[in-house]
């Protein structure tokens, strides 16, 4: 009797092309909405911010990313305090996140799409404290949605 192999954990799901298409569709949608989501004037109620956080959580689920894998980065994001830190220091910490996330994406290939999205978010902050606060809110919401979409951890 042959032992059946479950390829799902290695990313070789049946219909892998469909999975890749869904991930690409989610990623493109998220990227297209970053500028609007960061702008508190354009997205006063935060609906777009929450919608793309939801989509990002869904993307992370499709890539089998657990909350544990993004927890360290989330802690770094939480430690950026625009009201307490000097402005230059808090923006420096934000830019440094890119290198820390690159390291995580190098260790865990399933984080690559998330890294690319986060780099675009950080690049769109442009020294604006309001946008930095929105970025922190986005990241917090992503962790929550990732937890929601994760079956177990």
29-50 pLDDT tens trace: 999 999 999 999 999 999 999 9
Q: Is 134 inside any structural domain?
A: yes
Per-residue pLDDT reduced to its tens digit, 7-34:
334 444 445 777 789 999 999 999 999 9
Q: Is 6 inside any structural domain?
A: no
Answer for the pair 117, 138: CB distance below 8 angstroms, yes or no.
no
Residue 74 reports pLDDT greater than 80: yes
Answer for the pair 134, 40: CB distance below 8 angstroms, yes or no.
yes
Q: Is 51 inside any structural domain?
A: yes
- Prediction pTM value: 0.82
Question: What is the domain extent for residue 104?
Answer: 15-149
Q: Is 10 inside any structural domain?
A: no
The Cα 146–Cα 64 span in angstroms is 10
Q: Is 4 inside any structural domain?
A: no
Answer for the pair 43, 83: CB distance below 8 angstroms, yes or no.
no
Q: Is 40 inside any structural domain?
A: yes
Q: Is 3 inside any structural domain?
A: no
Q: Is 97 inside any structural domain?
A: yes
Q: How many domains does the chain have?
A: 1
């Amino acid at each position: 009797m042959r032992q059946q192999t479950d390829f799902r954990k290695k990313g070789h799901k049946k219909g892998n092309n469909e999975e890749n298409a869904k991930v690409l569709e989610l990623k493109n949608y998220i990227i297209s909405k970053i500028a609007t989501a960061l702008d508190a004037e354009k997205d006063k109620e935060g609906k777009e911010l929450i919608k793309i956080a939801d989509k990002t959580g869904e993307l992370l689920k499709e890539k089998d990313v657990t909350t544990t894998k993004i927890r360290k980065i989330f802690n770094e994001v939480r430690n950026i305090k625009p009201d307490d830190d000097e402005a230059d220091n808090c923006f420096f910490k934000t830019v440094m996140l890119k290198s820390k996330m690159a390291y995580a994406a190098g260790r865990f290939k399933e984080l690559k799409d998330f890294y690319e999205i986060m780099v675009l978010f950080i690049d769109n902050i442009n020294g604006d404290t309001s946008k930095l606060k929105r970025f922190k809110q986005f990241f917090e919401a992503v962790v929550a949605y990732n937890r929601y979409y994760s079956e177990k951890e």
